Amino acid sequence: MAHSSQLGFQDAASPIMEELIYFHDHALMAVLLISTLVLYIITAMMTTKLTNTGPLNAQEVEMVWTLMPAVILVIIALPSLRILYLMDEVNSPHLTIKAIGHQWYWSYEHLDHMVMKYNSYIIPAKDLLPGQFRLLEVDTRMNIPMESSIRMLITSVDVLHSWAIPSLGVKTDAIPGRLNQTTFTTTRPGVFYGQCSEICGVNHSFMPIAVEASRLLTTPDQLLEIKIDVTLERSDQKTFIKIHPGTPHEQYLKIYEKDHILNPLQMKQAHQ
């Protein structure tokens, strides 16, 4: 979460954002070294009393100031290309969620196992509860499990929008008639805020994004705590558990990976 007088990035909540912060520090170091060298040369030229009006043939100097920028560009470009490829890499996402931009709110569709749709509107300042953030809170957050690969399909129904969450290192344009894709994985639980990052009209600043990452519920005790029904289904030799809590936007929680499958005894305890 950003705070007043902040100079750097928000705390990273995804591996991609961590890589972006490292790359920022790497590029900033190159900029500081170049700036220091240029400042030193300017200061030396302005303060020296030595003058030489005769032109000299300096082939070595010309070679240096031609090759040095090329080397610096390569040093900056290689890590940048690596991060670009990492951002586009999709490896068997656990969840696929479609985000649709409207003037001026977001709607979401969860596309795995069961289709679920809901809208996400900004909460007006007069309706905020103590501790909530102005211009960032929404009535329905997008809920996802942490440490799971999430694939986002992003589009728009009217004008250009942009789905962006700084702490996750995600920013993808929502273009009418086109489906853009991005992926991310949250490394810690929490609520991560973002906003539409493309000028989209008079209420552009009033369409925030709120993503809530939580731990997967994997034990019978946790299932019984929130009084949910567990249904075991088999399809194409894949076993998964569907969890149906009370609020519609939390129905995304499905434990379908091998590491999270409950054994028969645990299933019996969960149904009691």
| pLDDT of the residue at 254 | 40
pLDDT in tens, 173-218: 999 999 999 999 898 888 999 999 999 889 898 999 999 998 875 5
Q: Which of 7-16, 21-30, 178-187 has the lowest mean pLDDT?
A: 7-16
**Token digits of residue 231:** 């249904």
Return the sign of the alpha-carbon dihedral for residues 47, 52, 53, 54.
negative
pLDDT for res 217: 54
SS3 helix, strand, coil % of the chain, rounded to 5?
Answer: 35, 30, 40
Nearest-angstrom CA–CA distance, 224 and 144:
20
The residue type found at 210 is: A
Tens digits of residue pLDDT in 213-234 = 988 755 455 544 544 443 443 3
| pLDDT at residue 47 greater than cutoff 50 | yes
CA atoms within 13 A on the CB side of 111: 13
**Of 29-43, 188-202, 258-272, minimum mean pLDDT range:** 258-272
pLDDT tops 80 at residue 252: no
pLDDT over 90, % of the chain: 25
Joined tokens for residue 183: 């992926």
Please report which confidence band the pLDDT of residue 270 belongs to, taking 50, 70 and 90 as the band edges: very low
